[in-house]
Amino acid sequence: MKKKRVAIDMDEVMADALGKLIRLYEEEYKVPIDREKLTGYYLEEIVHPDNRSAIRRYLYAEDFFEDLDIISDSQAVVKEMADRYEIFIVTAAMEFPDSLRPKYRWLQKYFPFIPWSHYVFCGDKSIILADYLIDDHAKNLVNFSGEPLLFSSPHNAQETRFTRLNNWQEVAHYFLSDR
């Protein structure tokens, strides 16, 4: 039987971009970010307006995506999923063209069991043909032709339109338990 195909987003799903942004911001401005204020918001929206452009500056830096931490349990769960599903990594990398090479290296390093033929670096994810898409952005899920799955991130806390998976344990339960 043909394996079902699962497309998985990178940032905030596999790679902790938000964690690095917070760290860089706290280092530069010497003020702690109140994590609770992030519920329902992007980091840019809760920092001091004068410092907002710093977030973009971090994201556009050539090495930003090079050394992001891995979101807890994503490696182990994706590895197990890869036996039962056809896994594609789908990331909206085009907004940050300097991220293309670092994102490729990051995937090779941390998810070596996913072949490069199954990487997709794109912009508009409505081009993706898959059975499932795990993503933290509603805008990517809303036009998806398969089953959309919202991976929880502070900014999407108020989103209610999609099946929500709060963490990789819930992803494992959704895809790997014998339902």
Q: Radius of gyration of the chain from Cα atoms? A: 16
11, 16, 135, 136: which one is catalytic? Answer: 11
Of 109, 124, 157, 161, the residue at the interface with its own copies (CB under 8 A) is 124
Of 64, 106, 119, 162, the residue at the interface with its own copies (CB under 8 A) is 119
CB 151 within 8 A of CB 12: yes
Give the interface size with its own copies as a residue count (CB under 8 A): 29
Tokens of 163: 């099946």
The yes-or-no answer on residue 9 being catalytic is yes
The yes-or-no answer on residue 131 being catalytic is no
Give the Å distances, CA to CA, from 59 to 70, 87, 92, 125.
Answer: 17, 26, 13, 20
- Listed ranges 19-27, 75-83, 126-134, 166-174: which one lies at the site for its own copies (CB under 8 A): 126-134
Neighbours of 83 (CB within 10 A): 10
Segment 6 to 35, residues that bind its own copies, using CB under 8 A: 7
Of 14, 17, 130, 141, the residue at the interface with its own copies (CB under 8 A) is 130
Of 29, 41, 42, 104, the residue at the interface with its own copies (CB under 8 A) is 104
CB 102 within 8 A of CB 65: yes
Segment 54 to 93, residues that bind its own copies, using CB under 8 A: 88, 90, 93
Give the Cα separation of 2 and 118 in Å (integer).
16
Comparing CB distances to its own copies, the nearer of 97 and 112 is 97
Query: What does residue 115 show for φ and ψ, rounded to 5 degrees?
Result: -70, 150
The residue count for the chain: 179
Angle between helices 168-176 and 74-84 (to 10 degrees): 10
User: Is 172 among the residues that bind its own copies (CB under 8 A)?
Assistant: no
User: Is 97 among the residues that bind its own copies (CB under 8 A)?
Assistant: yes
The residues assigned a catalytic role are 9, 11
Write out the residues near its own copies by the rule CB under 8 A: 5, 7, 88, 90, 93-95, 97-98, 100-101, 104-105, 115-124, 126-130, 145
